[in-house]
Chains A and B, each alone.
Chain A
């Protein structure tokens, strides 16, 4: 094929055999290198020449990064763990059922075969499920460079749409997230135009019922801001309460005040705010119902 017939602009390619090799190549590229994992977000941008790296550093052939492992109360997800694996992994299903549910909203069969959890978090699309789940589950990102290893909390990691706290010579080797106590109830609600498309808005929430009221409430959203969101104001509103129609109405009102979504070709800001309330009500009802069931199950 002739030079001008190829979609991407020219680049060099390096298939790293170890994490250290990848870190060295990234440092040598001096800001013009790009890591490629699943390629499911990067390649579209390269094909339309939105991104023009001088070198692509492929981490797919590094051994040992393709694992999901339990460390105490946390689960570690390696840099080449594919969406298919996260969606079907037994540890995820058992200890973080909300993540298992969320994964079924991610893309399609063929994309899930290649795309990676860590790649999605690094891409930091504000409407992507895995960044939001990482935030909800108090994620800790492990970044490597030739300067050494650094751990970055999810709450510091997402700095804007498609922007993260990673330095240009750093890449992610794994991400650690919370497992949930077994009596935790959860609700995951998402609205998208077609199954597997990016969400217009989504709510993820978890809670436990202790002495008849909601405790350990977590409330996250995506698609309604520049980054995925944790909403501490909503969490405080629910903490110590029972989920009643009055409370759900209060949550809906509070969300209207809190959220400032964008209008884009997919939906208007008003519509997204309306969706947020509707999805929040459903997700909280689900979480409450599941927490009730799981608590009764544990007592029986």
Chain B
């Protein structure tokens, strides 16, 4: 069924993109296939694993549960905006130092969720950190080193004002 395509305009990591897509295209597929931004990973594609986490207007969201057309006019941040191999972003650097990744499949999702956490959540105890991380699944690390990385980042950030 050839349904009506829709034109949308989004800003991704500060760069504006305009595209015309089918309404059913998921934001995760839009980022990966239309814009070539394959840093955002897809695991389960039904909201369970968190690998596809991006920020929409500053708050974390699962891009596999968002339609690209819903993001019209929205500011999107993806893991590509965090840094590069030569210049790691602060969260990426903390992951490297603490061995918070092994295969790396879950890492982009964790990094984007942690970006939201560091901006908005108290993270005063390990319990709070673990609760905040609970929407992201990692099959390799056993989480311990991810918690260590976040603890350091939270300490560096200090209390939320």
Does B bind A?
yes
CB of B46 within 8 A of CB of A111, answer: no
CB of B70 within 8 A of CB of A6, answer: no
Interface residues on A, range: 20 to 34
Interface size on B, residues (CB 8 A): 40
A8 within 8 A of B: yes
Cβ-defined partner of A109 (8 Å) among B22, B24, B67, B113? B113
Interface residues of B in 107-159 (CB under 8 A from A): 113, 116-117, 121, 130-132, 134-136
Q: How long is the Cα–Cα vector from A109 to B132 in the complex, in angstroms? A: 6
B43 to chain A, nearest CB (A): 12
B-side contacts of A196, CB under 8 Å:
131, 134-135
Q: Which residue of B lies closest to A197 (CB)?
A: B134
Of the listed stretches B9-17, B57-65, B79-87, B94-102, name the one at the interface; the rest are far from the partner chain: B57-65
CB of B29 within 8 A of CB of A6, answer: yes
Cβ-defined partner of A56 (8 Å) among B23, B25, B26, B131? B23
Interface residues of A in 36-94 (CB under 8 A from B): 36, 39-40, 43-44, 46-48, 56, 58, 60, 84
27 A-B residue pairings within 8 Å (CB atoms): A7-B26, A7-B45, A8-B24, A8-B26, A9-B24, A10-B1, A11-B3, A11-B23, A12-B3, A13-B23, A15-B69, A39-B65, A39-B67, A44-B46, A44-B48, A56-B23, A84-B59, A109-B113, A109-B116, A109-B134, A109-B135, A110-B62, A110-B116, A111-B47, A111-B62, A114-B66, A195-B130
A-side contacts of B34, CB under 8 Å:
1
B6 within 8 A of A: yes
Q: How long is the Cα–Cα vector from A158 to B159 in the complex, in angstroms? A: 43
Chain A 21-42 near chain B by CB (<8 Å), digits 1 or 0: 0000000000000001001100
Q: Interface centre among A6, A109, A113, by most B CB within 10 Å?
A: A109
Q: Which residue of B lies closest to A41 (CB)?
A: B47
Q: Which residue of B lies closest to A9 (CB)?
A: B24
Q: A12-B4, A47-B45 are in contact. Are A109 and B25 (CB under 8 A)?
A: no
Q: Which residue of B lies closest to A7 (CB)?
A: B45
